[in-house]
Amino acid sequence: MTALSRRAPAEDGIATPEFEAAHERQKRWRGFLMALPAYAYLLLFFAVPLGIVVVYSFGTRTRFGTTELSGWNLESYEKLGRDLVQQVLFRSIWLALLTTVICLVIAYPFAYYMATRSARVRNLMLVFVMIPFWTNFLVRNYAWYVILGTDGPFSRVAEFLGFGPTRLLFTQSAVVMGLVYGFLPFMILPLYAAIERIDGRLLEASRDLGATGYQSFRRVLLPLSMPGVIAGSILVFIPSLGAYVTPDILGGAKTTLLGSYIVTQFLSARDFPFGAALSTVLMALMLAATIVYFRRGGRTL
């Protein structure tokens, strides 16, 4: 509106509808120009690569480990039906689910407690969740490697408690532990955001009307915090499925997950089309989950 009063062409300074429209067009154009550099960048360096992955997934691996792109076929997707691949897929889904459930069970009471504290305390609590959230992922996994190793502190404590020398490293439990450690903040943050918005008087009203603590949780708190539960579950499940660093450091040969399996296709097996097909499946899962989330009235974080 301001540009109007300053630049109105009419002598009397009254904005005509034509001028309004021209101004509106100009403003849209300016917004587009401002978005353009990032827009073009992401189209070229994100959207195009994404398309290339999909194209590769229909290609063929030659005997020399190169990829033949002409002659589209579904061979790579057919490989998904093989026993070994199914094993990896089921194991990934199972471990990712387990990770998600553990995170949910730990994070829900944590987020709830955080939401009940004073603004000052909860901000502090939030900051101390954010710090591990953003700090070096590799190092945080490596820390568990040190702790869970043969002579490491975990084994010592287990020995002291009478369990005998225990080596958790290179087991599925170690991988799940590492995943929970890495992705727990992804669960806490959306849960907290959802619970914090809930009007506490609704909970009090349900109690006043004779609901037990559990009933009030089950019928009031949980439904109202559902967007947070869904968002957190997606944010933990998807990266767990695609995890590569954690199983690589903490897992053994029998803990190949989808993420590590994809990496193997590119860095050692050199079956690019199959790796691309697996990536496409992972992306499709992610997109489906995101769409479900937004359909169910979730909001962006």
CB of 97 to another protein, least distance (A): 16
Work out which of 71, 161, 199, 210 binds another protein, going by CB under 8 A: 199
Q: Is 158 in the site for another protein (CB under 8 A)?
A: no
Q: Is 118 in the site for another protein (CB under 8 A)?
A: yes
Longest alpha-carbon distance in the chain: 93
Which contacts qualify for 294-298: CB closer than 8 Å, 24 or more apart?
Answer: 296/226, 296/227, 296/230, 297/227, 298/227, 298/230, 298/231
Q: Is 223 in the site for another protein (CB under 8 A)?
A: no
Q: Letter for the amino acid at 181? A: Y
What number of chain residues touch another protein (CB under 8 A)? 101
CB of 126 to another protein, least distance (A): 7
Distance of CA 178 to the CA centre of its chain: 15
CB of 42 to another protein, least distance (A): 5
Exposed (0-12), middle (13-18) or buried (19+): which is 279, by Cβ within 10 Å?
buried
Per the structure block, which two tokens stand in for 257?
Answer: 């997950």
Work out which of 125, 168, 229, 236 binds another protein, going by CB under 8 A: 125
Q: Is 134 in the site for another protein (CB under 8 A)?
A: yes
Q: Is 222 in the site for another protein (CB under 8 A)?
A: no
Site for another protein in 17-76 (CB under 8 A): 27-32, 34-35, 37-39, 41-43, 45-50, 52-53, 56
Work out which of 102, 228, 262, 271 binds another protein, going by CB under 8 A: 262
Q: Could you give the CA distance from residue 65 to residue 46 in angstroms, rounded to a whole number?
A: 25
Q: Note the helical H segments in the chain.
A: 2-7, 17-42, 48-56, 75-78, 83-116, 119-134, 137-148, 153-160, 172-196, 200-208, 213-216, 222-224, 226-241, 245-250, 258-267, 272-295
Nearest to 255 by CA among 243, 269, 239, 273: 243
Q: Which is nearer to another protein, 131 or 222 (CB)?
A: 131
Work out which of 62, 116, 212, 215 binds another protein, going by CB under 8 A: 116
Q: Is 215 in the site for another protein (CB under 8 A)?
A: no
Work out which of 14, 17, 63, 119 binds another protein, going by CB under 8 A: 119
Q: SS3 for 50-97, per residue?
A: HHHHHHHCCCEECCCCCEECCCCCCHHHHHHHCHHHHHHHHHHHHHHH
CB of 253 to another protein, least distance (A): 13
Q: Is 128 in the site for another protein (CB under 8 A)?
A: yes
CB of 32 to another protein, least distance (A): 4
Q: Could you give the CA distance from residue 129 to residue 114 in angstroms, rounded to a whole number?
A: 11
Q: Could you give the CA distance from residue 141 to residue 109 in angstroms, rounded to a whole number?
A: 25
CB of 80 to another protein, least distance (A): 16
CB of 128 to another protein, least distance (A): 6
Site for another protein in 179-198 (CB under 8 A): 181, 184, 188, 195-198
Q: Which stretch binds another protein (CB under 8 A): 15-23, 72-80, 84-92, 151-159?
A: 151-159
Among all chains, which residue has been given the structure tokens 């998600």? 100
- One symbol per residue from 276 to 295: x for binding another protein (CB under 8 A), - otherwise; what is it? x--x--xx--x---x-----
Q: Could you give the CA distance from residue 93 to residue 240 in angstroms, rounded to a whole number?
A: 9
CB of 258 to another protein, least distance (A): 8
